[in-house]
């Protein structure tokens, strides 16, 4: 399978998500990222490489060190993508709110009618008002 | 959303008693009123709400195009939870195996006068989850805007 390099591939791995969280606070060198993980420096390096290929972070050489900084715009793609999905559910739930509101008011109406007219008002009559 | 677990989790509170929210999720005449994101409409053909039973319905578009889907109920604990296997099918309910299937678990709990619904959708693999979201996208995006229009008109 061909390796995909997009923002979703970037966040698909827990270590990479952790690296992103670290870099969200401040840019760090690969060595200082490695210090915070128990995995080998090589493994961290590989994750950094993937993140760079995914466009989520940029790497600049500083002498013998490599400095990593987050690319916030690329990460924004994730929330944009989620927003649209969220929109579908919100749309659905707003309609469900409406259905429930109707159910609630129907019962309320019925109670009122029962109270005022001793239960004489039939369901069909309520529909006309 | 948890992509590594191939699951989507959605949680929402509704301002209604649990028995009503339960009805809205399990009674076909109520489901048809809200299940489809606009401008689609859900139209139920068969609703047999019991373990081993199924719900067969069409998502009907504004031009009359229909996408059939069915939900096979796996477990039902009245007022508390129900789960089902979700699939695309034809109008006779014959499942299209080439399209993604998922397992849904919907839980209902009381919170004062409100009801909290927790939905957990599990896909067999990541690509299923992605393709379903892409499908939902096309429908969901325009409908979200339409809702905003309605809201602004008020």
The pLDDT score that the predictor gives to residue A89 is 84
In chain A, positions 5-24, which contact chain B (CB-CB < 8 Å)? 8, 11-14
Q: What is the mean pLDDT of residues A23-52?
A: 94
pLDDT range class, residue B141, cuts 50, 70, 90: very low
pLDDT tens digits, residue range B64-95?
Answer: 899 999 999 999 999 999 999 999 999 999 99
Contact between residue B50 and residue B71 where contact means Cβ atoms under 8 Å apart: no
Q: How confident is the model at residue B109 (pLDDT cuts 50, 70, 90)?
A: very high
What was the pLDDT predicted at A12?
Answer: 78
Read off the tokens for B55: 């719900």
Query: For residue B141, what is the nearest residue in chain A, using CA coordinates?
Result: A84
Any idea which residue has 């008109």 for tokens? B153
- Give the pLDDT of residue B71: 97
Task: Tell me the DSSP string of B44-91.
Answer: EEEE--STT-EEEEEEE-TTS-EEEEEEEEEEEETTTEEEEEEEEE-T
Interface contact A95-B139, CB threshold 8 A: no
Chain A contact present for B140, CB below 8 A: yes
Give the residue, B129 or A71, on which the prediction is more confident. A71
pLDDT at B27 over 50: yes
Query: Which of B23, B30, B35 is closest, CB to CB, to A92?
Result: B35
Q: What is the band of B129 on the pLDDT scale with cuts at 50, 70, 90?
A: low
- Cα A23 from Cα A47, distance rounded (Å): 13
Instruction: Report the pLDDT averaged over residues B55-65.
Output: 92
Q: What pLDDT does A117 receive?
A: 41
Residue B139: pLDDT over 80: no
Least confident range from A57-71, A97-111, B110-124: namely A97-111
Does A85 sit within 8 Å of B133, measured CB to CB? yes
On whether the pTM is more than 0.80, the answer is: no
Q: How far is B16 from chain A (nearest CA, A)?
A: 6
Domain locations in chain A?
Answer: 7-70, 84-117
Fold of the CATH domain B7-153: Alpha-D-Glucose-1,6-Bisphosphate; Chain A, domain 4 (3.30.530)
B141 Cβ under 8 Å from any chain A Cβ: yes
Q: What is the pLDDT of residue B134?
A: 62
Query: Smallest Cβ distance to A88: which of B4, B33, B140?
Result: B140
| pLDDT, tens digit, 9 for 90 and up, residues A82-129 | 777 777 888 899 999 999 999 888 765 555 554 444 333 344 444 443
Q: What is the mean pLDDT of chain B?
A: 83
Q: Which residue has the higher pLDDT, A98 or B1?
A: A98
B16/A100 CB distance under 8 A? yes
Domain A7-70 class in CATH:
mainly alpha
How would DSSP label each residue in A107-128? HHHHHHHHHHHTT-S-HHHHHH
Q: Give the three-class secondary structure for B27.
A: coil
Chain A with chain B: Cβ pairs closer than 8 A: 76
Q: Specify whether the CB–CB gap between A55 and A4 falls below 8 A.
A: no
For residue B134, give the chain A residue with the closest CA. Answer: A85
C-beta atoms of A91 and B10 within 8 A: no
Lowest mean pLDDT among A12-26, A85-99, B1-15: B1-15
Strands B66-77, B102-111: parallel, antiparallel or unpaired by DSSP?
unpaired
Contact call for A100 and B137, based on CB within 8 A: no
- What is the pLDDT, as a whole number, of residue B34? 92
Q: Give the pLDDT confidence score for residue A79 in this predicted structure.
A: 78
Measured from the Cβ of residue B92, the count of other Cβ atoms closer than 10 Å reads 9
Over range A57-62, report the average pLDDT.
Answer: 94
């Amino acid at each position: 399978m061909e390796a995909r390099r997009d923002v979703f591939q970037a966040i698909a791995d827990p270590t990479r998500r952790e690296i992103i969280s670290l870099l969200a606070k401040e840019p760090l060198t690969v060595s200082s990222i490695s210090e915070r993980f128990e995995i080998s420096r090589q493994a961290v390096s590989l994750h950094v490489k993937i993140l760079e290929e995914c466009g989520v972070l940029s790497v600049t050489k500083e002498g013998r060190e490599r400095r990593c900084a987050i690319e916030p715009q690329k990460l924004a793609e994730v929330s944009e993508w989620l927003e649209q999905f969220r929109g579908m559910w919100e749309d659905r739930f707003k309609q469900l709110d409406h259905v429930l509101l109707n159910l609630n008011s129907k019962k309320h109406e019925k109670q009122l009618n029962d109270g005022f007219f001793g239960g004489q008002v039939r369901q069909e009559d309520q529909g006309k008002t | 959303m948890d992509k590594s677990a191939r699951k989507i989790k959605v949680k929402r509170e509704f301002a209604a008693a649990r028995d009503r929210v339960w009805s809205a999720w399990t009674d076909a005449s109520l489901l048809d009123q809200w299940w489809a994101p606009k401008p689609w409409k859900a139209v139920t053909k068969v609703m047999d709400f019991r373990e081993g039973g199924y719900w067969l319905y069409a998502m009907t578009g504004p031009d009359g195009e229909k996408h059939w889907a069915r939900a096979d109920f796996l477990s039902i604990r009245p007022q508390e939870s129900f789960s089902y296997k979700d699939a695309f099918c034809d109008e006779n309910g014959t499942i299209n195996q080439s399209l993604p299937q998922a397992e849904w678990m919907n839980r209902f709990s009381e919170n004062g006068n409100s009801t909290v619904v927790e939905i957990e959708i599990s896909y067999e693999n990541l690509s299923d989850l992605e393709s379903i979201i892409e499908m939902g996208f096309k429908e969901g995006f325009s409908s979200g805007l339409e809702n905003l229009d309605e809201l602004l008109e008020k």
